């Protein structure tokens, strides 16, 4: 069985790359590659960012990160709303996100996601003037198509934020599947969602995963130099649809919470000391760590809530909860009993979640 490794777990006027768009990928010689690499990197550095997720709303502990590209903005009442393209798996199950541009962290949230295509749009608001890539290459069906052997430049933040916006050079290895681009530019965990360019500055796609190893009769063998990017054939219609409608596409229905059990929460999160928001009589139940944006629980369930029943059935373990929703389909209604602490008062709240 083949083993796949997902990566990831992010002036006075706005600048863009308008004018450099060329629908043909140029084949460069080794003599002029260096200058082109530097030129493209200088153009895209400010618009390529890290998408950083955190454990909780204190934003003290980083849970992970991916990469992304600021491709557009719109004016809002105060300042601008910027749109960042990244991978779905970078923001999957993440409730606390910031965009890091090398100097500043901006509070961010998912705008829309497409789990099928592994793409996501994340937004952040600020009065800052920030360079954007622009929408020219998203405006029609004509886009740059790489050719086998042509140079590509991957930009992103592998491994740790100290490697912010690392550039790696490679060549296109295969184009048989028009939905993905196989290349050998070095990509590692953290590069997910980072843009892939040709040496004209054309956006070719977004890095998503690499093959790390393959199982053979002789055992597992490490694989090098086989990375994949989602091509613009997929990116353009998917991003345009998400931007225009704000609708998300998921593979399977989920409540949209990250959880642990009450005993584990007390032990692992609070050092064995019961916090004031968990009453003395509450010895079982599912403790909510975070609520994931765009999922049905968002705005109905909150961090520190305790789920005690689902459709009248008591839940004490993660397995209990998973078992009760394992066969649910989109549109299924769930009635959840929640034990909630608010302003010194405990209460039971019954809510309906439609998956």
pLDDT for residue 13 is more than 50: no
How many C-alpha atoms does 291 have within 13 Å on its Cβ side? 15
pLDDT, one tens digit per residue, over 135-166 is 999 987 778 888 898 899 999 999 899 999 99
Residue 68 contacts residue 193 (beta carbons within 8 Å): yes
Compute the distance between CA of residue 295 and CA of residue 257 in angstroms, rounded to an integer.
8
Higher pLDDT, 132 or 211: 132
Q: How far apart are CA 14 and CA 314, in angstroms?
A: 54
Report percent pLDDT > 70 for the chain. Answer: 87
d(C-alpha 185, C-alpha 33), whole Å: 14
Residue 313: which of 288, 283, 334 has the closest Cα? 334
Asked if 285 and 307 count as a contact pair (C-beta separation under 8 A), the reply is yes
Taking only the tens place, the pLDDT of each residue in 305-319 is 999 999 999 999 999
Going by C-alpha positions, the residue among 239, 119, 111, 105 that lies closest to residue 164 is: 105
Q: Which residue has the tokens 């709240």?
A: 349
What is the per-residue pLDDT for 32? Answer: 76
Query: How many whole angstroms separate alpha carbon 193 and alpha carbon 85?
Result: 7
> By CB neighbour count within 10 A (0-12 exposed, 13-18 middle, 19+ buried), where does 333 fall?
exposed
Quick check: helix, strand or coil at residue 310? strand
In contact, 273 and 330? CB cutoff 8 Å = no
Ranges assigned E (strand) in the chain: 2-6, 48-54, 62-75, 80-86, 97-100, 105-114, 119-126, 151-156, 166-174, 180-183, 195-198, 203-216, 219-222, 227-231, 257-261, 286-291, 306-310, 313-314, 333-342, 345-354
* pLDDT of amino acid 28: 60
Helix (H) or strand (E) holding 40: helix 30-44
**Is-same-fold flag (2-245; 257-354)?**
no
- pLDDT number for residue 11: 29
State the fold for domain 257-354: Pdz3 Domain (2.30.42)
pLDDT at 226: 79
* Segment of 142-156, 205-219, 275-289 carrying the highest mean pLDDT: 275-289
Domain ranges of the chain: 2-245, 257-354
Give the model's confidence band at 218: pLDDT under 50 very low, under 70 low, under 90 confident, else very high.
Answer: confident
DSSP line for 45-113: GGGEEEEEEESSTT--SEEEEEEEEEEEEEE-SSSEEEEEEE-HHHHTT---EEEE-SS-EEEEEEEEE
**Which of these ranges, 110-114, 212-216, 351-355, has the smallest mean pLDDT?**
212-216
Tokens for 122, please give them: 């994340």
CATH code for residues 2-245: 2.40.10.120
296 CB neighbour count, 10 Å cutoff: 21
């Amino acid at each position: 069985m083949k083993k796949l490794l997902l990566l990831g777990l992010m002036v006075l006027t706005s600048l863009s790359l308008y004018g450099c768009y060329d629908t043909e990928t140029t084949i460069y010689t080794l003599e002029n590659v260096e200058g082109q690499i530097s030129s493209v990197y200088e153009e895209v550095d400010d618009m390529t960012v890290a998408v950083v997720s955190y454990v909780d709303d204190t934003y003290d502990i980083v849970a992970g990160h991916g990469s992304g590209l600021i491709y557009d903005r719109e004016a809002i009442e105060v300042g601008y709303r910027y749109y960042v393209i990244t991978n779905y798996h970078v923001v999957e199950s993440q409730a606390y996100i910031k965009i890091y541009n090398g100097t500043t962290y901006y509070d961010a949230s998912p705008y829309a996601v497409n789990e099928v295509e592994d793409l996501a749009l994340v937004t952040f608001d600020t009065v800052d003037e920030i360079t954007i890539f622009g929408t020219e290459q998203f405006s029609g069906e004509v886009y740059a198509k790489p050719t086998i052997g042509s140079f590509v430049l991957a930009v992103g933040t592998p491994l740790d934020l100290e490697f912010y916006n690392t550039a790696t050079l490679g060549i296109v290895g295969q184009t048989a599947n028009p939905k993905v681009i196989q290349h050998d530019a070095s990509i590692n965990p953290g590069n997910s969602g980072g843009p892939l360019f040709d040496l004209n500055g054309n956006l070719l796609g977004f890095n998503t995963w690499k093959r790390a190893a393959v199982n053979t009769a002789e055992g597992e063998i490490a694989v090098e130099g086989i990375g994949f990017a989602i091509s613009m054939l997929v990116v353009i219609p998917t991003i345009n649809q998400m931007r225009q409608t704000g609708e998300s596409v998921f593979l399977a229905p989920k409540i949209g919470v990250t959880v642990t059990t009450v005993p584990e929460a007390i032990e692992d999160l609070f050092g064995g000391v019961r916090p004031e928001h968990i009453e003395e009589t509450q010895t079982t139940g599912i403790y909510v760590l975070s609520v994931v944006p765009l999922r049905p629980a968002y705005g109905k369930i909150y961090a520190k809530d305790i789920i005690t029943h689902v459709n009248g059935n008591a839940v004490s373990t993660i397995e209990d909860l998973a078992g009760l929703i394992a066969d649910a389909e989109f549109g299924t209604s769930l009635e959840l009993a929640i034990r909630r602490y608010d302003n010194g008062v405990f209460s039971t709240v019954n809510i309906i979640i439609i998956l």
